[in-house]
Amino acid sequence: MDIEECQKEWEDLLVDYKKLETLNREYVAKLDEVGELQASCLKELNHQRYRLSIITSALKRLHQKKNENVSSLEKEIMKRKAMLHEIEATLPKQNSLYLKIILGNVNVSILNKNDKFKYKDEYEKFKLILSAIAFVLAVANLYIDFRPLQLILIFLLVWYYCTLTIRESILKVNGSRIKGWWRLHHFISTVVSGILLIWPQNEPWDEFRHTFMWFIAYISVVQYMQFRYQSGVLYRLKALGARHNMDITIEGFHSWMWRGLSYLLPFLFGGYMFQLYIAYTLYHISYHPEATWQVPALSMSFFLLGIGNTVTTLLVIPQKLNEQDQKWRQNKVDLNKVEAKSE
């Protein structure tokens, strides 16, 4: 290119740049508009919730004189609450205190259902990949007695559980119904891995390390099974359309879910027994003359994890039966309504 050609090119590019400028101005104006719309939606949402709470408490007072009008209004209110929940999922939310401390006030709300699904899917894949790496390292540690290799695995666990707590807090902000215990479980696991990292290399550690490596190998395999189950649930719910919505094909989903659970649960309880066995082993090791404070601390933590996991998983079953029963009854009511209308 000679200088004239360069100048011509430059002028051509200027025309394109003007177009880009106009486009960007339009985009920035729309962003402002979106911000304003979000603020108005939030205001209206709070207004709806406030007035609903007044009507609900008035209805509670009318409960003694229960009649058809009261129960039909109560049902309508239930439906409205569900709709408000759907609306809320499309609006940005405040970060939890933990996220505020770690990330500051950056916005982590995912407003699009597809992106929410992708984020959850990625979270499950992240757990799977890290479990595969932990499995390989644990098996290697069973055959090779090399301190740096042990430290690499334990350090990986500290980082993994810490990362999980952050990802799960982001999932929670975005409407996940993950139970408090599973999140607490990952906080406790971070502490456990931290204590393991500073456990000095002595005879008690040598007595324990094989059991620990077997445990990591075992839970990595269970994690793979959990991944199969969770991604199955995720894809089926996505295929059913709007998640947590009532649909006639939900029955097909439930039968798949119970099959998945009956396959997974024995292995999960196997893991909890393993945790309690570790707590017991560490309790014995704590009487060793060379035992440091890490041994009883870990024994107590594993005991807490084993009991907490057992109780939470046992509670999942009646809760799921209850939810299923409610959805089945709601489906029946909806079907009856459809039939009555078509007659």
Rule CB under 6 A: say whether 95 interacts with ligand COA. no
Rule CB under 6 A: say whether 73 interacts with ligand COA. no
- Closest alpha carbon to 233 in 316, 318, 135, 139: 316
Task: In whole angstroms, give the CA distance from residue 297 to residue 40.
Answer: 51
Cβ atoms of 216 and 139 within 8 Å: the answer is: no
Burial (CB < 10 A; 0-12, 13-18, 19+), residue 214, is: middle
Q: Which residues of 71-101 are buried (b: 16+ CB within 10 A; e: fewer)?
A: eeebeeeeeeeeebeeeebeeebebeeebee
* Nearer CB in complex with ligand COA: 35/252: 252
Task: In whole angstroms, give the CA distance from residue 42 to residue 39.
Answer: 5
Q: How many residues does the chain have?
A: 343
Rule CB under 6 A: say whether 176 interacts with ligand COA. yes
Rule CB under 6 A: say whether 177 interacts with ligand COA. yes
Burial (CB < 10 A; 0-12, 13-18, 19+), residue 301, is: buried
* Nearer CB in complex with ligand COA: 229/253: 229
* Nearer CB in complex with ligand COA: 268/295: 268
181-220: contacts with ligand COA (CB under 6 A): 182, 219
* Nearer CB in complex with ligand COA: 25/243: 243
Which one of 226, 286, 294, 299 is in contact with ligand COA (CB under 6 A)?
Answer: 226
Binding mask 16-35 for ligand COA (x = CB under 6 A): --------------------
Q: How many residues bind ligand COA (CB under 6 A)?
A: 18
257-316: contacts with ligand COA (CB under 6 A): 264, 268, 271, 309, 313, 316
34-53: contacts with ligand COA (CB under 6 A): none
Which one of 77, 152, 222, 304 is in contact with ligand COA (CB under 6 A)?
Answer: 222
Q: What are phi and psi of 144, to 5 degrees?
A: -115, 130
> Closest distance between ligand COA and the C-beta of residue 274, in Å?
7
* Nearer CB in complex with ligand COA: 95/313: 313
Rule CB under 6 A: say whether 120 interacts with ligand COA. yes
- Closest alpha carbon to 85 in 48, 37, 119: 48
Cα dist from 18 to 13, 22, 25, 198, 260, whole Å: 9, 6, 11, 61, 58
Give the interface segment with ligand COA, choosing from 79-87, 93-101, 169-177, 201-209 (CB under 6 A).
169-177
Cβ atoms of 260 and 227 within 8 Å: the answer is: no
Give the interface segment with ligand COA, choosing from 60-68, 82-90, 170-178, 193-201 (CB under 6 A).
170-178
- Rounded to the nearest 10°, the torsion over CA 28, 29, 35, 37 is -150
For ligand COA, the binding residues (CB under 6 A) are: 120, 171, 176-178, 182, 219, 222, 226, 229-230, 233, 264, 268, 271, 309, 313, 316
